[in-house]
């Protein structure tokens, strides 16, 4: 029987981005409600994470990034990155728990307590650079998870990012390293403007970055073709000890922040294929997804594939 961890915390709802912001607490509420309604909530191992250490965050981020978020929360509010990256009074604690959830999920999977895990967290992370929070993201949860796995003894970690926006922060953190493979399917050209197919890593990391730009209007067929024909063979060649997923669901056909037309069924299919190619050892972390119905459908399909 597959054991799937489901990591979340009430503090993730307390990260307040303000009225009208697409990255809002209702996103998590929609996921929780859908999983309970369809019976998946009873099939996972629920887990509330503790706070990550500052040292764990500083393994991928400059100290100034941590201090900027801490000070913003202490002041009650702050706006970073030109206006769309918001810090509220509870955001620092929520972000520490989001990182904590990523790390604890990795630990549970590497230790064999869980086969796989989904971390339903806020704030998201894949846009956060080593030196700056940006794009709704405070700390780069998936990058910290991958780094923690390496420090735990994993020789190679693969990060698969299917959020509709390219994970610039994750790519840049690891692009000069050969022990972390980063592959991304994302709408092109789109925010944040990175992720061209020619970006393949540098130095020791040359070839360990794989960008698969998708066009506006691309749906399940185009995504699955890129995934099966290009991404999976590259993943197999890399032979990771662990796969970590930036599970953004904003490529969904209903999403207001994208022009791609992916369905929940495609997210389920990508999940199933990754599990098969990862030997079942997979940790996914929530990134984007801003239409509540599309997000709930996609997250439920993802979790159903994890527990199957």
Asked if residues 275 and 109 have their Cβ atoms less than 8 Å apart, the reply is no
Among left, alpha and beta (phi > 0; psi -120 to 50; other), residue 217 is: left
Please name the residues in contact with 41: beta carbons below 8 A apart, sequence gap of 6 or more.
Answer: 6, 32, 35
CB count in 10 Å sphere of residue 291: 21
Cα separation values, 145 from 17, 103, 124, 126, 297, Å: 24, 5, 13, 11, 26
> In sequence order, which ranges of the chain are alpha helices (DSSP H)?
11-14, 26-37, 54-58, 63-74, 91-110, 141-151, 168-174, 220-226, 232-238, 264-277, 292-307
The pLDDT score that the predictor gives to residue 82 is: 80
Q: What percent of the chain has pLDDT over 90?
A: 99
DSSP code for 51: P
Q: What is the pTM of this model?
A: 0.98
User: In the structure encoding, which two tokens stand for residue 27, read together?
Assistant: 């996103």
The model's confidence at residue 49, banded by pLDDT at 50, 70 and 90, is very high
**Domains with residue ranges and CATH for the chain:** 4-307 (3.40.800.20)
User: CA 148, CA 151: separation in Å to the nearest integer?
Assistant: 5
Catalytic residue among 127, 148, 166, 186: 127
DSSP code for 137: B
The model's confidence at residue 144, banded by pLDDT at 50, 70 and 90, is very high
Is omega for the bond preceding 227 within 30 degrees of 0, making it cis?
no
Closest CA to 174 of 240, 81, 101, 108: 240
* 32 included as an active-site residue: no
Closest CA to 132 of 72, 65, 58: 65
| pLDDT 10s digits, 264-297 | 999 999 999 999 999 999 999 999 999 999 999 9
Asked if residues 282 and 302 have their Cβ atoms less than 8 Å apart, the reply is no
Place of tokens 């697409």: 22
- Average pLDDT estimate for 244-262: 98
Bridge partner residues of 284 (DSSP) = 118, 245
Average pLDDT, rounded, for the chain: 98
CB count in 10 Å sphere of residue 55: 7
81 has a pLDDT exceeding 90: no
193 has a pLDDT exceeding 90: yes
User: In the structure encoding, which two tokens stand for residue 281, read together?
Assistant: 């050892």
The pLDDT score that the predictor gives to residue 180 is: 98
User: In the structure encoding, which two tokens stand for residue 90, read together?
Assistant: 């509870």
Asked if residues 173 and 202 have their Cβ atoms less than 8 Å apart, the reply is no
Asked if residues 302 and 284 have their Cβ atoms less than 8 Å apart, the reply is yes
């Amino acid at each position: 029987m597959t054991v799937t961890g489901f990591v979340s915390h009430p503090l993730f709802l307390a990260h307040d981005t303000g009225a009208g912001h697409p990255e809002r607490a209702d996103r998590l509420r929609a996921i929780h409600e859908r999983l309970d309604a369809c019976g998946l909530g009873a099939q996972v191992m629920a887990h509330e994470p503790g706070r990550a250490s500052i040292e764990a965050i500083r393994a991928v981020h400059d100290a100034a990034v941590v201090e900027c978020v801490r000070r913003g929360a202490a002041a009650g509010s702050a706006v970073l990155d030109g206006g769309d990256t918001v810090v509220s009074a509870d955001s620092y604690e929520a972000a520490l728990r989001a990182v904590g959830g990523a790390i604890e999920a990795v630990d549970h999977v590497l230790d064999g307590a869980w086969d796989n895990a989904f971390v339903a967290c806020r704030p998201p992370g894949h846009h956060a650079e080593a030196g700056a929070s940006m794009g709704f993201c405070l700390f780069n949860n998936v990058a910290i998870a991958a780094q923690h796995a390496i420090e735990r003894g994993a020789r190679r970690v693969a990060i698969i990012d299917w959020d509709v926006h390219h994970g610039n922060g994750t790519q840049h953190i690891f692009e000069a390293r050969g022990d972390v493979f980063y592959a991304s399917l994302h709408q092109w050209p789109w925010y944040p403007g990175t992720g061209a197919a020619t970006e393949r890593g540098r130095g020791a990391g040359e070839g360990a970055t794989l960008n698969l730009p998708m066009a506006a209007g691309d749906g399940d067929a185009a995504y699955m073709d890129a995934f099966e024909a290009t991404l999976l063979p590259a993943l197999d060649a890399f032979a990771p000890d662990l796969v970590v997923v930036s599970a953004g669901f904003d490529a969904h056909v209903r999403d207001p922040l994208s022009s791609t037309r992916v369905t929940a069924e495609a997210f389920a299919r990508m999940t199933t294929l990754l599990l098969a190619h990862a030997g079942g050892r997979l940790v996914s972390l929530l990134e984007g997804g801003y239409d509540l119905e599309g997000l709930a459908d996609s997250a439920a399909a993802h979790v159903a594939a994890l527990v199957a």
